[in-house]
Amino acid sequence: MTIEAMRRRRGLPLVVCAPSGTGKTTLIKKLREEFPLNFSVSCTTRPPRPGEMDGRDYVFLDRAAFLEKRRTGYFAEWAEVHGNFYGTPLQPLLERLNRGEDMLFDIDVQGAAQLALSLPEARFVFILPPSLEVLARRLRDRGTDSEDAIALRLTNARMEIGGCHWFDAWIVNDDLKQAYAELRAFYLAAALRPSLQPGLARSVLEGE
């Protein structure tokens, strides 16, 4: 094996989860503006929101098409959230990780648990709201959901927070600047893990 091959680094799968309204999208946007993180584009059966583009934000599928892809093992992970399906295509993901690209996943806790089994090298961070009361206010301030939809999101938030004990890190988004500093530090530390570049130390010894 050549020195170059020994020093080749596999990409990091970085998984960020949070209840709706926690500020996850803003934090992810800031991280991608600073670092060359590639976004893992999920498939979903939910309708596009204003400003979203098919193939950039999500691949929008009807329910029948999604279920057929799931049946054939197309997804690395999939989940049903708020009555809609979401899934991450497996093969494009593996190809990009093998090229050394760090991949960012914006998925729910169900999907993260599946991804932990299929990608053991992944690292997982959960964004928490300061309180459920603050989360409810943020959801109402968005002005995009009915009261029934907000109630469902809060119910799901309680379940997600109750099941996030296995994540590698928790970040409370009370202050955006501080929350981003913590997310940034977590990513940089995770990207240096020896398991992503197992031949590095050997390359130093054999390159003498």
Q: Give the residue ranges of the annotated binding site for ATP.
A: 18-25
Nearest-Å Rg of the Cα atoms of the chain is 18
Which residues are part of a known binding site? 18-25
Return all residues near 60 (Cβ < 8 A) that are at least 6 apart. Answer: 43, 44, 45, 46, 47, 48, 54
Task: Return the ∠ at Cα 109 (arms to 175 and 11), rounded to 5°.
Answer: 85
For the chain, give percent helix, strand, coil, nearest 5: 45, 20, 35
- Say how far apart CA 27 and CA 100 lie, in whole Å: 23
- Say how far apart CA 128 and CA 169 lie, in whole Å: 10
- Say how far apart CA 208 and CA 27 lie, in whole Å: 42
- Say how far apart CA 82 and CA 139 lie, in whole Å: 14
Q: Are 193 and 122 in contact (CB under 8 A)?
A: no
